[in-house]
Chains A and B, each alone.
Chain A
Protein backbone atom coordinates (compact mmCIF):
# COMPACT_ATOMS: atom_id res chain seq x y z
CA UNK A 1 0.00 0.00 0.00
CA UNK A 2 1.23 3.48 -0.85
CA UNK A 3 1.96 5.90 1.98
CA UNK A 4 -1.32 6.90 3.61
CA UNK A 5 -0.44 10.60 3.51
CA UNK A 6 -0.18 10.46 -0.30
CA UNK A 7 -3.80 9.34 -0.76
CA UNK A 8 -6.37 11.81 -1.97
CA UNK A 9 -9.17 12.70 0.41
CA UNK A 10 -11.62 10.60 -1.62
CA UNK A 11 -9.24 7.60 -1.59
CA UNK A 12 -8.72 7.96 2.15
CA UNK A 13 -12.46 8.23 2.72
CA UNK A 14 -13.12 5.10 0.68
CA UNK A 15 -10.24 3.22 2.33
CA UNK A 16 -11.59 4.05 5.77
CA UNK A 17 -15.07 2.94 4.73
CA UNK A 18 -13.72 -0.39 3.49
CA UNK A 19 -11.71 -0.87 6.66
CA UNK A 20 -8.35 -0.95 4.83
CA UNK A 21 -6.89 1.26 7.58
CA UNK A 22 -8.12 3.26 10.56
CA UNK A 23 -8.34 6.98 11.05
CA UNK A 24 -5.67 6.65 13.75
CA UNK A 25 -3.28 5.09 11.18
CA UNK A 26 -4.15 7.70 8.59
CA UNK A 27 -3.69 10.51 11.11
CA UNK A 28 -0.37 9.10 12.39
CA UNK A 29 0.94 9.05 8.81
CA UNK A 30 0.01 12.71 8.46
CA UNK A 31 1.54 13.70 11.79
CA UNK A 32 4.80 12.04 10.69
CA UNK A 33 4.60 13.87 7.35
CA UNK A 34 3.95 17.17 9.08
CA UNK A 35 6.99 16.65 11.31
CA UNK A 36 9.11 15.69 8.31
CA UNK A 37 8.15 18.88 6.50
CA UNK A 38 8.81 21.38 9.30
CA UNK A 39 11.43 23.16 7.18
CA UNK A 40 8.51 24.56 5.16
CA UNK A 41 7.22 26.48 8.20
CA UNK A 42 3.71 25.68 7.01
CA UNK A 43 2.25 25.51 10.53
CA UNK A 44 2.09 28.13 13.27
CA UNK A 45 0.72 25.55 15.73
CA UNK A 46 0.75 21.76 15.47
CA UNK A 47 -2.03 19.88 17.27
CA UNK A 48 -1.07 16.19 17.01
CA UNK A 49 -2.78 15.13 20.25
CA UNK A 50 -6.00 16.76 19.18
CA UNK A 51 -5.73 15.06 15.77
CA UNK A 52 -5.27 11.64 17.37
CA UNK A 53 -8.15 12.19 19.79
CA UNK A 54 -10.38 13.09 16.86
CA UNK A 55 -9.17 10.01 14.96
CA UNK A 56 -9.88 7.68 17.88
CA UNK A 57 -13.35 9.15 18.30
CA UNK A 58 -13.92 8.76 14.56
CA UNK A 59 -12.81 5.13 14.56
CA UNK A 60 -15.20 4.48 17.45
CA UNK A 61 -18.06 6.17 15.57
CA UNK A 62 -17.30 4.06 12.51
CA UNK A 63 -17.46 0.84 14.50
CA UNK A 64 -20.79 1.96 15.90
CA UNK A 65 -22.13 3.09 12.51
CA UNK A 66 -21.10 -0.21 10.92
CA UNK A 67 -23.33 -1.90 13.46
CA UNK A 68 -26.25 0.35 12.60
CA UNK A 69 -25.61 3.19 15.07
CA UNK A 70 -25.91 6.24 12.80
CA UNK A 71 -24.16 7.32 9.61
CA UNK A 72 -20.51 8.21 9.17
CA UNK A 73 -19.94 11.90 8.35
CA UNK A 74 -18.91 13.05 4.86
CA UNK A 75 -15.34 13.63 6.09
CA UNK A 76 -15.29 10.93 8.72
CA UNK A 77 -11.77 10.31 10.01
CA UNK A 78 -9.97 12.66 7.60
CA UNK A 79 -7.12 14.75 9.07
CA UNK A 80 -6.90 18.30 7.71
CA UNK A 81 -5.13 21.58 8.42
CA UNK A 82 -6.81 24.86 9.33
CA UNK A 83 -5.62 28.30 8.29
CA UNK A 84 -4.71 30.18 11.45
CA UNK A 85 -7.40 32.74 10.72
CA UNK A 86 -10.22 30.46 11.90
CA UNK A 87 -10.99 30.65 15.60
CA UNK A 88 -10.58 27.24 17.18
CA UNK A 89 -11.80 26.75 20.72
CA UNK A 90 -8.95 26.29 23.17
CA UNK A 91 -6.28 26.40 20.43
CA UNK A 92 -4.04 29.44 19.90
CA UNK A 93 -5.31 31.54 16.97
CA UNK A 94 -2.86 34.18 15.75
CA UNK A 95 -3.80 35.43 12.24
CA UNK A 96 0.03 35.29 12.03
CA UNK A 97 0.11 38.62 13.85
CA UNK A 98 2.11 39.66 16.91
CA UNK A 99 -0.93 41.59 18.11
CA UNK A 100 -2.86 38.37 18.76
CA UNK A 101 -0.13 36.93 21.00
CA UNK A 102 -1.56 34.20 23.18
CA UNK A 103 -5.13 34.60 21.90
CA UNK A 104 -7.05 31.41 22.70
CA UNK A 105 -10.61 31.58 21.39
CA UNK A 106 -13.42 30.53 23.69
CA UNK A 107 -15.52 29.49 20.70
CA UNK A 108 -15.23 27.58 17.44
CA UNK A 109 -15.75 29.16 13.99
CA UNK A 110 -18.81 27.89 12.15
CA UNK A 111 -16.78 26.49 9.24
CA UNK A 112 -14.45 24.48 11.48
CA UNK A 113 -17.37 23.34 13.64
CA UNK A 114 -19.05 22.10 10.43
CA UNK A 115 -15.89 20.20 9.47
CA UNK A 116 -15.61 18.53 12.88
CA UNK A 117 -19.29 17.62 12.73
CA UNK A 118 -18.61 15.96 9.36
CA UNK A 119 -15.97 13.83 11.10
CA UNK A 120 -12.70 15.58 10.19
CA UNK A 121 -9.81 16.08 12.63
CA UNK A 122 -7.35 18.98 12.99
CA UNK A 123 -3.60 18.50 12.47
CA UNK A 124 -2.71 22.11 13.19
CA UNK A 125 -3.07 25.77 12.29
CA UNK A 126 -1.33 26.97 9.14
CA UNK A 127 0.75 30.05 8.52
CA UNK A 128 -0.50 33.02 6.52
CA UNK A 129 0.32 36.60 5.64
CA UNK A 130 -0.43 38.72 8.70
CA UNK A 131 -4.22 39.16 8.87
CA UNK A 132 -4.34 37.56 5.37
CA UNK A 133 -2.82 40.70 3.85
CA UNK A 134 -0.35 39.53 1.24
CA UNK A 135 0.31 37.30 -1.73
CA UNK A 136 3.40 35.41 -0.62
CA UNK A 137 3.05 34.42 3.08
CA UNK A 138 6.07 36.60 3.80
CA UNK A 139 4.37 39.11 6.09
CA UNK A 140 3.72 36.53 8.83
CA UNK A 141 5.03 37.38 12.30
CA UNK A 142 6.07 33.71 12.42
CA UNK A 143 8.33 33.96 9.38
CA UNK A 144 7.74 33.03 5.75
CA UNK A 145 6.37 29.68 4.59
CA UNK A 146 8.47 27.93 1.96
CA UNK A 147 6.96 26.48 -1.20
CA UNK A 148 7.65 22.72 -1.43
CA UNK A 149 8.40 23.22 -5.14
CA UNK A 150 11.79 24.31 -6.49
CA UNK A 151 12.74 25.52 -9.95
CA UNK A 152 14.50 22.76 -11.83
CA UNK A 153 18.22 22.96 -11.19
CA UNK A 154 17.86 25.79 -8.68
CA UNK A 155 17.64 25.42 -4.93
CA UNK A 156 16.43 28.94 -4.21
CA UNK A 157 13.53 28.97 -1.75
CA UNK A 158 10.28 30.10 -3.33
CA UNK A 159 7.14 31.62 -1.84
CA UNK A 160 4.00 29.47 -1.67
CA UNK A 161 1.80 32.43 -2.63
CA UNK A 162 -0.60 33.87 -0.12
CA UNK A 163 -2.22 34.62 2.00
CA UNK A 164 -3.20 30.95 2.53
CA UNK A 165 0.40 29.87 1.86
CA UNK A 166 0.78 27.57 4.86
CA UNK A 167 -2.36 25.67 3.87
CA UNK A 168 -1.21 25.39 0.25
CA UNK A 169 2.30 24.22 1.20
CA UNK A 170 0.97 21.66 3.71
CA UNK A 171 -1.43 20.14 1.17
CA UNK A 172 1.15 20.13 -1.65
CA UNK A 173 3.74 18.49 0.62
CA UNK A 174 1.24 15.75 1.59
CA UNK A 175 1.28 16.89 5.22
CA UNK A 176 -2.54 17.23 5.19
CA UNK A 177 -5.30 15.72 3.04
CA UNK A 178 -6.77 19.18 2.63
CA UNK A 179 -6.81 22.52 4.35
CA UNK A 180 -9.09 25.47 4.81
CA UNK A 181 -8.18 28.77 3.22
CA UNK A 182 -9.77 32.16 3.04
CA UNK A 183 -9.88 34.34 -0.04
CA UNK A 184 -10.37 38.11 -0.02
CA UNK A 185 -8.71 38.97 -3.36
CA UNK A 186 -7.12 35.67 -4.37
CA UNK A 187 -5.75 34.23 -1.13
CA UNK A 188 -6.96 30.69 -1.89
CA UNK A 189 -6.56 30.60 -5.67
CA UNK A 190 -3.13 32.22 -6.08
CA UNK A 191 -1.33 29.99 -3.52
CA UNK A 192 -3.12 26.97 -5.00
CA UNK A 193 -1.68 27.94 -8.38
CA UNK A 194 1.82 28.47 -6.91
CA UNK A 195 1.78 25.10 -5.11
CA UNK A 196 0.14 22.96 -7.81
CA UNK A 197 -3.07 22.18 -5.93
CA UNK A 198 -6.80 22.89 -6.29
CA UNK A 199 -8.15 25.98 -4.53
CA UNK A 200 -11.82 26.93 -4.42
CA UNK A 201 -13.33 30.25 -3.44
CA UNK A 202 -17.08 29.68 -3.29
CA UNK A 203 -19.74 32.36 -3.78
CA UNK A 204 -19.69 35.09 -1.14
CA UNK A 205 -22.18 33.87 1.45
CA UNK A 206 -21.77 30.15 0.76
CA UNK A 207 -19.63 29.62 3.88
CA UNK A 208 -20.26 31.41 7.14
CA UNK A 209 -17.68 34.02 8.14
CA UNK A 210 -18.57 33.67 11.83
CA UNK A 211 -15.42 33.05 13.85
CA UNK A 212 -13.03 33.87 11.02
CA UNK A 213 -10.71 36.77 11.91
CA UNK A 214 -12.09 39.55 9.69
CA UNK A 215 -9.99 41.33 7.04
CA UNK A 216 -12.42 42.88 4.53
CA UNK A 217 -15.89 41.68 5.39
CA UNK A 218 -17.57 42.31 2.04
CA UNK A 219 -14.91 40.18 0.30
CA UNK A 220 -13.73 37.50 2.78
CA UNK A 221 -14.84 33.97 1.97
CA UNK A 222 -13.64 30.58 3.19
CA UNK A 223 -12.96 27.66 0.88
CA UNK A 224 -11.13 24.34 0.55
CA UNK A 225 -7.58 23.68 -0.66
CA UNK A 226 -7.03 20.11 -1.82
CA UNK A 227 -5.07 18.00 -4.29
CA UNK A 228 -8.03 17.09 -6.50
CA UNK A 229 -11.27 18.69 -7.66
CA UNK A 230 -13.25 15.83 -6.13
CA UNK A 231 -11.61 16.49 -2.76
CA UNK A 232 -12.53 20.16 -3.10
CA UNK A 233 -16.15 19.18 -3.71
CA UNK A 234 -16.19 16.88 -0.68
CA UNK A 235 -14.64 19.48 1.58
CA UNK A 236 -16.69 22.45 0.38
CA UNK A 237 -19.84 20.41 0.96
CA UNK A 238 -18.81 19.97 4.59
CA UNK A 239 -17.77 23.62 5.10
CA UNK A 240 -20.76 25.35 3.50
CA UNK A 241 -24.21 26.08 4.83
CA UNK A 242 -26.43 28.78 6.25
CA UNK A 243 -25.56 30.26 9.61
CA UNK A 244 -27.83 32.69 11.42
CA UNK A 245 -24.78 34.16 13.16
CA UNK A 246 -23.47 35.60 9.86
CA UNK A 247 -26.13 37.88 8.40
CA UNK A 248 -24.49 37.64 4.96
CA UNK A 249 -24.53 33.85 4.96
CA UNK A 250 -26.86 32.59 2.23
CA UNK A 251 -29.98 30.73 3.28
CA UNK A 252 -29.74 28.14 0.51
CA UNK A 253 -29.48 24.41 0.28
CA UNK A 254 -25.93 23.16 -0.19
CA UNK A 255 -25.96 21.07 -3.38
CA UNK A 256 -24.21 17.71 -3.62
CA UNK A 257 -21.09 19.13 -5.29
CA UNK A 258 -19.50 15.72 -5.75
CA UNK A 259 -22.52 14.54 -7.75
CA UNK A 260 -21.95 17.39 -10.22
CA UNK A 261 -18.36 16.43 -11.00
CA UNK A 262 -18.83 13.94 -13.80
CA UNK A 263 -21.60 15.74 -15.65
CA UNK A 264 -19.11 16.88 -18.27
CA UNK A 265 -18.94 20.14 -20.16
CA UNK A 266 -20.69 19.13 -23.36
CA UNK A 267 -22.66 22.13 -24.63
CA UNK A 268 -21.28 24.50 -22.00
CA UNK A 269 -20.36 27.95 -23.23
CA UNK A 270 -16.97 28.99 -21.92
CA UNK A 271 -16.22 32.72 -21.96
CA UNK A 272 -12.70 33.94 -22.68
CA UNK A 273 -12.39 37.50 -21.37
CA UNK A 274 -10.29 39.50 -23.81
CA UNK A 275 -9.13 41.96 -21.13
CA UNK A 276 -7.35 39.15 -19.26
CA UNK A 277 -4.89 38.93 -22.13
CA UNK A 278 -2.59 41.54 -20.72
CA UNK A 279 0.45 43.27 -22.09
CA UNK A 280 3.67 41.53 -21.19
CA UNK A 281 2.03 38.22 -20.31
CA UNK A 282 4.49 35.36 -20.53
CA UNK A 283 4.22 33.16 -23.65
CA UNK A 284 4.08 30.02 -21.51
CA UNK A 285 1.08 31.36 -19.61
CA UNK A 286 -0.66 32.23 -22.88
CA UNK A 287 0.15 28.76 -24.20
CA UNK A 288 -1.32 27.17 -21.07
CA UNK A 289 -4.48 29.24 -21.42
CA UNK A 290 -4.78 28.15 -25.08
CA UNK A 291 -4.25 24.59 -23.96
CA UNK A 292 -7.11 24.99 -21.47
CA UNK A 293 -9.38 26.25 -24.25
CA UNK A 294 -8.39 23.28 -26.43
CA UNK A 295 -9.07 20.80 -23.61
CA UNK A 296 -12.55 22.18 -22.94
CA UNK A 297 -13.31 22.35 -26.68
CA UNK A 298 -12.28 18.72 -27.06
CA UNK A 299 -14.58 17.84 -24.16
CA UNK A 300 -17.53 19.38 -26.03
CA UNK A 301 -17.64 22.95 -24.74
CA UNK A 302 -17.83 26.02 -26.95
CA UNK A 303 -15.37 28.92 -26.51
CA UNK A 304 -16.96 32.38 -26.68
CA UNK A 305 -14.97 35.62 -26.59
CA UNK A 306 -16.39 38.00 -23.98
CA UNK A 307 -15.47 41.46 -22.75
CA UNK A 308 -15.16 42.61 -19.15
CA UNK A 309 -14.30 46.25 -19.90
CA UNK A 310 -13.61 47.38 -16.32
CA UNK A 311 -11.07 44.65 -15.54
CA UNK A 312 -8.14 47.06 -15.36
CA UNK A 313 -9.86 48.99 -12.57
CA UNK A 314 -10.41 45.94 -10.37
CA UNK A 315 -7.07 46.08 -8.53
CA UNK A 316 -7.16 49.81 -7.70
CA UNK A 317 -10.79 49.38 -6.62
CA UNK A 318 -9.78 46.49 -4.39
CA UNK A 319 -6.94 48.51 -2.86
CA UNK A 320 -9.46 51.11 -1.70
CA UNK A 321 -12.26 48.81 -0.55
CA UNK A 322 -10.14 46.18 1.23
CA UNK A 323 -7.93 48.56 3.27
CA UNK A 324 -10.98 50.68 4.16
CA UNK A 325 -12.78 47.66 5.56
CA UNK A 326 -9.58 46.41 7.20
CA UNK A 327 -8.98 49.71 8.96
CA UNK A 328 -12.37 49.43 10.58
CA UNK A 329 -12.18 45.68 11.31
CA UNK A 330 -8.73 45.98 12.87
CA UNK A 331 -9.86 48.79 15.18
CA UNK A 332 -10.73 46.06 17.68
CA UNK A 333 -7.06 45.34 18.45
CA UNK A 334 -6.71 47.83 21.24
CA UNK A 335 -4.70 46.02 23.89
CA UNK A 336 -7.75 45.80 26.12
CA UNK A 337 -9.68 42.68 25.20
CA UNK A 338 -7.14 40.18 23.89
CA UNK A 339 -3.60 39.74 22.69
CA UNK A 340 -0.70 42.09 23.06
CA UNK A 341 -0.64 45.17 25.30
CA UNK A 342 2.18 47.72 25.32
CA UNK A 343 1.70 50.12 28.19
CA UNK A 344 1.81 53.91 27.80
CA UNK A 345 1.39 57.01 29.92
CA UNK A 346 -2.21 57.46 28.82
CA UNK A 347 -4.89 55.19 27.39
CA UNK A 348 -4.36 56.73 23.94
CA UNK A 349 -0.64 56.03 24.20
CA UNK A 350 -1.33 52.47 25.25
CA UNK A 351 -3.46 52.00 22.09
CA UNK A 352 -0.79 53.55 19.89
CA UNK A 353 2.05 51.59 21.43
CA UNK A 354 0.13 48.32 21.28
CA UNK A 355 -0.85 48.76 17.66
CA UNK A 356 2.53 50.18 16.65
CA UNK A 357 4.26 47.17 18.16
CA UNK A 358 1.64 44.56 17.23
CA UNK A 359 1.07 45.28 13.52
CA UNK A 360 3.69 44.52 10.88
CA UNK A 361 4.64 46.88 8.04
CA UNK A 362 2.07 45.68 5.47
CA UNK A 363 -0.83 45.72 7.94
CA UNK A 364 0.15 49.19 9.14
CA UNK A 365 0.35 50.41 5.54
CA UNK A 366 -3.10 49.06 4.72
CA UNK A 367 -4.76 50.34 7.90
CA UNK A 368 -3.29 53.78 7.20
CA UNK A 369 -4.45 53.72 3.56
CA UNK A 370 -7.89 52.62 4.76
CA UNK A 371 -8.02 55.35 7.39
CA UNK A 372 -6.97 57.91 4.78
CA UNK A 373 -9.58 56.95 2.17
CA UNK A 374 -12.33 56.98 4.81
CA UNK A 375 -11.24 60.22 6.45
CA UNK A 376 -13.30 63.40 6.32
CA UNK A 377 -13.23 65.03 2.90
CA UNK A 378 -11.85 61.97 1.09
CA UNK A 379 -14.67 59.44 1.51
CA UNK A 380 -16.49 60.39 -1.73
CA UNK A 381 -13.33 60.68 -3.79
CA UNK A 382 -12.04 57.24 -2.85
CA UNK A 383 -14.38 54.89 -1.05
CA UNK A 384 -17.61 55.90 -2.74
CA UNK A 385 -15.86 55.98 -6.12
CA UNK A 386 -14.52 52.47 -5.53
CA UNK A 387 -17.95 51.15 -4.56
CA UNK A 388 -19.30 52.57 -7.84
CA UNK A 389 -16.53 50.85 -9.78
CA UNK A 390 -17.45 47.67 -7.98
CA UNK A 391 -20.97 48.00 -9.37
CA UNK A 392 -19.53 48.37 -12.89
CA UNK A 393 -17.18 45.39 -12.48
CA UNK A 394 -20.04 43.28 -11.21
CA UNK A 395 -22.22 44.41 -14.13
CA UNK A 396 -19.50 43.36 -16.60
CA UNK A 397 -19.64 39.82 -15.22
CA UNK A 398 -23.45 39.75 -15.23
CA UNK A 399 -23.52 40.78 -18.88
CA UNK A 400 -20.90 38.17 -19.77
CA UNK A 401 -22.90 35.51 -17.97
CA UNK A 402 -25.91 36.35 -20.17
CA UNK A 403 -23.86 34.78 -22.94
CA UNK A 404 -21.72 32.13 -21.25
CA UNK A 405 -21.86 29.59 -18.40
CA UNK A 406 -18.30 29.82 -17.12
CA UNK A 407 -15.18 31.91 -17.67
CA UNK A 408 -11.70 30.47 -18.22
CA UNK A 409 -8.63 32.57 -17.31
CA UNK A 410 -5.15 32.07 -15.89
CA UNK A 411 -5.05 32.19 -12.07
CA UNK A 412 -1.87 34.21 -11.56
CA UNK A 413 0.41 36.21 -13.87
CA UNK A 414 3.50 34.17 -12.95
CA UNK A 415 4.63 30.99 -11.24
CA UNK A 416 6.04 31.15 -7.69
CA UNK A 417 8.83 33.68 -7.18
CA UNK A 418 11.73 33.63 -4.73
CA UNK A 419 11.37 34.69 -1.10
CA UNK A 420 12.55 38.30 -0.91
CA UNK A 421 11.46 39.25 -4.44
CA UNK A 422 8.77 41.95 -4.95
CA UNK A 423 9.22 42.97 -1.33
CA UNK A 424 10.19 46.61 -1.82
CA UNK A 425 7.35 47.55 -4.18
CA UNK A 426 3.85 47.03 -2.75
CA UNK A 427 2.17 47.52 -6.14
CA UNK A 428 4.33 44.84 -7.81
CA UNK A 429 3.18 42.47 -5.06
CA UNK A 430 -0.46 43.53 -5.50
CA UNK A 431 -0.30 42.62 -9.23
CA UNK A 432 -0.19 38.94 -8.26
CA UNK A 433 -3.93 39.15 -7.78
CA UNK A 434 -4.76 40.83 -11.09
CA UNK A 435 -6.76 37.81 -12.36
CA UNK A 436 -8.34 36.83 -9.05
CA UNK A 437 -9.49 40.17 -7.61
CA UNK A 438 -12.29 40.89 -10.14
CA UNK A 439 -14.29 37.75 -9.18
CA UNK A 440 -13.78 38.63 -5.50
CA UNK A 441 -15.19 42.12 -6.01
CA UNK A 442 -18.24 40.56 -7.67
CA UNK A 443 -18.61 37.82 -5.03
CA UNK A 444 -18.42 35.06 -7.66
CA UNK A 445 -17.34 31.44 -7.16
CA UNK A 446 -13.95 30.68 -8.70
CA UNK A 447 -11.50 27.80 -8.67
CA UNK A 448 -7.84 27.37 -9.52
CA UNK A 449 -6.84 24.04 -11.06
CA UNK A 450 -3.22 22.96 -11.58
CA UNK A 451 -2.89 22.70 -15.35
CA UNK A 452 0.77 22.54 -16.27
CA UNK A 453 4.36 23.44 -15.48
CA UNK A 454 6.37 26.51 -16.37
CA UNK A 455 9.59 26.19 -18.35
CA UNK A 456 11.53 25.93 -15.10
CA UNK A 457 9.28 23.26 -13.67
CA UNK A 458 6.86 25.21 -11.48
CA UNK A 459 3.09 24.68 -11.37
CA UNK A 460 0.69 27.03 -13.15
CA UNK A 461 -3.04 27.18 -12.55
CA UNK A 462 -6.09 27.95 -14.66
CA UNK A 463 -9.07 29.72 -13.13
CA UNK A 464 -12.76 28.98 -13.70
CA UNK A 465 -15.40 31.53 -12.66
CA UNK A 466 -19.18 31.02 -12.66
CA UNK A 467 -22.47 32.69 -11.66
CA UNK A 468 -23.23 33.33 -8.00
CA UNK A 469 -24.19 30.05 -6.30
CA UNK A 470 -23.44 28.00 -9.41
CA UNK A 471 -20.48 26.13 -7.95
CA UNK A 472 -21.78 22.99 -9.66
CA UNK A 473 -20.96 24.31 -13.14
CA UNK A 474 -17.57 25.46 -11.79
CA UNK A 475 -16.92 21.94 -10.51
CA UNK A 476 -17.95 20.36 -13.82
CA UNK A 477 -15.57 22.57 -15.77
CA UNK A 478 -12.83 22.20 -13.16
CA UNK A 479 -13.11 18.43 -13.31
CA UNK A 480 -12.87 18.54 -17.12
CA UNK A 481 -9.71 20.67 -16.98
CA UNK A 482 -8.22 18.40 -14.31
CA UNK A 483 -9.02 15.32 -16.34
CA UNK A 484 -7.46 16.70 -19.52
CA UNK A 485 -4.43 18.22 -17.77
CA UNK A 486 -3.65 14.95 -15.97
CA UNK A 487 -1.36 17.01 -13.74
CA UNK A 488 0.71 14.50 -11.81
CA UNK A 489 3.95 16.38 -11.23
CA UNK A 490 5.08 16.30 -7.62
CA UNK A 491 6.84 18.93 -5.53
CA UNK A 492 10.54 18.67 -4.76
CA UNK A 493 9.92 18.37 -1.05
CA UNK A 494 7.25 15.84 -0.38
CA UNK A 495 6.90 14.59 3.14
CA UNK A 496 7.09 10.90 3.85
CA UNK A 497 7.27 9.65 0.26
CA UNK A 498 10.47 7.79 1.02
CA UNK A 499 12.39 9.61 -1.72
Chain B
Protein backbone atom coordinates (compact mmCIF):
# COMPACT_ATOMS: atom_id res chain seq x y z
CA UNK B 1 0.00 0.00 0.00
CA UNK B 2 1.49 3.34 -0.96
CA UNK B 3 1.81 5.81 1.86
CA UNK B 4 -0.75 8.45 1.01
CA UNK B 5 -1.62 11.87 2.33
CA UNK B 6 -4.33 10.59 4.64
CA UNK B 7 -1.97 8.04 6.20
CA UNK B 8 0.68 10.67 6.82
CA UNK B 9 -1.91 12.94 8.42
CA UNK B 10 -3.01 10.09 10.70
CA UNK B 11 0.60 9.24 11.63
CA UNK B 12 1.33 12.92 12.32
CA UNK B 13 -1.61 13.03 14.72
CA UNK B 14 -0.36 9.88 16.45
CA UNK B 15 3.09 11.49 16.74
CA UNK B 16 1.56 14.80 17.89
CA UNK B 17 3.31 16.82 15.21
CA UNK B 18 1.43 19.50 13.34
CA UNK B 19 2.21 19.16 9.64
CA UNK B 20 0.79 21.92 7.44
CA UNK B 21 -1.69 20.63 4.87
CA UNK B 22 0.44 21.86 1.97
CA UNK B 23 3.42 19.75 3.14
CA UNK B 24 1.52 16.45 3.44
CA UNK B 25 1.80 15.57 -0.24
CA UNK B 26 5.58 15.87 -0.52
CA UNK B 27 6.11 14.25 2.88
CA UNK B 28 3.96 11.30 1.80
CA UNK B 29 6.04 10.90 -1.35
CA UNK B 30 9.32 10.99 0.60
CA UNK B 31 8.11 8.59 3.24
CA UNK B 32 6.69 6.24 0.64
CA UNK B 33 10.08 6.12 -1.04
CA UNK B 34 11.85 5.38 2.25
CA UNK B 35 9.33 2.70 3.25
CA UNK B 36 9.60 1.14 -0.22
CA UNK B 37 13.37 1.09 0.16
CA UNK B 38 13.35 -0.57 3.60
CA UNK B 39 10.94 -3.22 2.31
CA UNK B 40 13.88 -4.88 0.54
CA UNK B 41 14.30 -6.70 3.86
CA UNK B 42 11.43 -8.94 2.74
CA UNK B 43 13.93 -10.70 0.43
CA UNK B 44 15.45 -12.37 3.49
CA UNK B 45 13.79 -15.39 5.07
CA UNK B 46 13.80 -14.84 8.82
CA UNK B 47 11.25 -17.36 10.10
CA UNK B 48 13.73 -19.08 12.40
CA UNK B 49 15.72 -16.01 13.38
CA UNK B 50 15.15 -14.56 16.83
CA UNK B 51 14.82 -10.76 16.96
CA UNK B 52 17.77 -9.05 18.57
CA UNK B 53 16.99 -8.10 22.14
CA UNK B 54 20.35 -6.80 23.30
CA UNK B 55 23.24 -5.67 21.16
CA UNK B 56 25.95 -6.81 23.56
CA UNK B 57 25.99 -9.98 25.52
CA UNK B 58 25.24 -8.60 28.96
CA UNK B 59 22.56 -9.41 31.49
CA UNK B 60 20.61 -6.42 32.66
CA UNK B 61 21.62 -5.73 36.25
CA UNK B 62 19.34 -5.88 39.27
CA UNK B 63 19.41 -3.46 42.13
CA UNK B 64 17.58 -3.13 45.42
CA UNK B 65 14.18 -1.52 45.12
CA UNK B 66 14.93 1.57 47.12
CA UNK B 67 14.74 5.32 46.63
CA UNK B 68 18.07 6.58 45.27
CA UNK B 69 17.05 9.99 44.05
CA UNK B 70 14.54 12.71 44.68
CA UNK B 71 13.99 15.77 46.82
CA UNK B 72 14.91 18.01 43.90
CA UNK B 73 11.58 19.52 42.87
CA UNK B 74 13.00 22.89 41.94
CA UNK B 75 15.63 21.32 39.70
CA UNK B 76 12.99 19.22 37.97
CA UNK B 77 10.91 22.33 37.36
CA UNK B 78 13.81 24.62 36.48
CA UNK B 79 13.31 24.38 32.71
CA UNK B 80 9.52 24.28 32.60
CA UNK B 81 7.96 26.79 30.20
CA UNK B 82 5.28 27.38 32.83
CA UNK B 83 5.03 26.33 36.48
CA UNK B 84 2.60 27.13 39.26
CA UNK B 85 3.22 26.50 42.95
CA UNK B 86 5.64 23.66 42.43
CA UNK B 87 3.83 22.02 39.52
CA UNK B 88 4.19 21.93 35.75
CA UNK B 89 1.39 24.06 34.36
CA UNK B 90 -0.58 23.51 31.14
CA UNK B 91 -3.74 25.06 29.77
CA UNK B 92 -7.05 23.74 31.10
CA UNK B 93 -7.65 20.09 30.09
CA UNK B 94 -11.14 19.49 31.51
CA UNK B 95 -14.13 21.73 30.90
Interface residues, chain B, with chain A CB atoms under 8 Å away? 3, 7-8, 11-20, 27, 30-31, 33-35, 37-42, 44, 46, 49-58, 60-61, 63, 72, 75-76, 78-82, 88, 90-91, 93
**Given A351-B16, A356-B19, is A392 in contact with B46 using a C-beta cutoff of 8 Å?**
yes
Q: How many residues of chain A have a CB within 8 Å of chain B?
A: 70
Residues on B with beta carbons closer than 8 Å to the beta carbon of A369: 31, 34-35
A283 CA to B90 CA in the complex, in Å?
59
A289 CA to B56 CA in the complex, in Å?
29
- Some 6 contacts from A to B, beta carbons below 8 A apart, are A251-B58, A316-B40, A336-B80, A372-B11, A388-B50, A469-B56
A219 CA to B56 CA in the complex, in Å?
11
Residues on A with beta carbons closer than 8 Å to the beta carbon of B20: 356
Q: Kindly list 17 other residue pairs between chains A and B, CB separation below 8 angstroms, not including A218-B55, A316-B40.
A: A247-B60, A248-B56, A317-B38, A334-B16, A341-B81, A346-B93, A355-B15, A356-B18, A368-B11, A368-B17, A372-B7, A375-B11, A387-B51, A389-B41, A394-B55, A427-B34, A443-B56
Residue of B nearest to A372 (CB): B11
Residues on A with beta carbons closer than 8 Å to the beta carbon of B11: 368, 371-372, 375
Kindly state whether residue A320 has any CB partner on chain B within 8 Å: yes
Residue of B nearest to A334 (CB): B16
A107 CA to B34 CA in the complex, in Å?
38
Residues on A with beta carbons closer than 8 Å to the beta carbon of B7: 372
Kindly state whether residue A313 has any CB partner on chain B within 8 Å: yes
Residues on B with beta carbons closer than 8 Å to the beta carbon of A244: 61, 63
Residues on A with beta carbons closer than 8 Å to the beta carbon of B76: 106
Residue of A nearest to B19 (CB): A356
A139 CA to B19 CA in the complex, in Å?
18
Residues on A with beta carbons closer than 8 Å to the beta carbon of B57: 468
**Given A310-B44, A316-B37, is A250 in contact with B56 using a C-beta cutoff of 8 Å?**
yes
Interface centre among B7, B8, B27, B52 (most CB of A within 10 A): B52
Contact indicator A372/B81 (Cβ below 8 Å) = no
A344 CA to B90 CA in the complex, in Å?
10
Stretch at the interface among A55-63, A70-78, A160-168, A359-367: A359-367
Kindly state whether residue A348 has any CB partner on chain B within 8 Å: yes
Q: Separation in Å of the A108 CB from the closest CB of chain B?
A: 12
Contact indicator A368/B41 (Cβ below 8 Å) = no
A287-321 interface mask toward B, CB cutoff 8 Å, 1 = contact, 0 = none? 00000000000000000000000100100110110
Kindly state whether residue A113 has any CB partner on chain B within 8 Å: no
Contact indicator A372/B49 (Cβ below 8 Å) = no
Q: Which 7 pairs between the two chains have the least Cβ-Cβ distance?
A: A356-B18, A387-B51, A443-B55, A338-B79, A341-B81, A106-B75, A388-B46
Stretch at the interface among A33-41, A264-272, A378-386: A378-386
Contact indicator B17/A313 (Cβ below 8 Å) = no
Q: Separation in Å of the B17 CB from the closest CB of chain A?
A: 4
Residues on A with beta carbons closer than 8 Å to the beta carbon of B90: 336, 347, 350
Contact indicator A375/B14 (Cβ below 8 Å) = yes
Tell me the residues in window 394-415 of chain A with beta carbons closer than 8 Å to chain B beta carbons: 394
Residue of B nearest to A333 (CB): B16
Contact indicator B56/A103 (Cβ below 8 Å) = no
Kindly state whether residue A223 has any CB partner on chain B within 8 Å: no
Residues on A with beta carbons closer than 8 Å to the beta carbon of B30: 365, 426
Kindly state whether residue A205 has any CB partner on chain B within 8 Å: yes
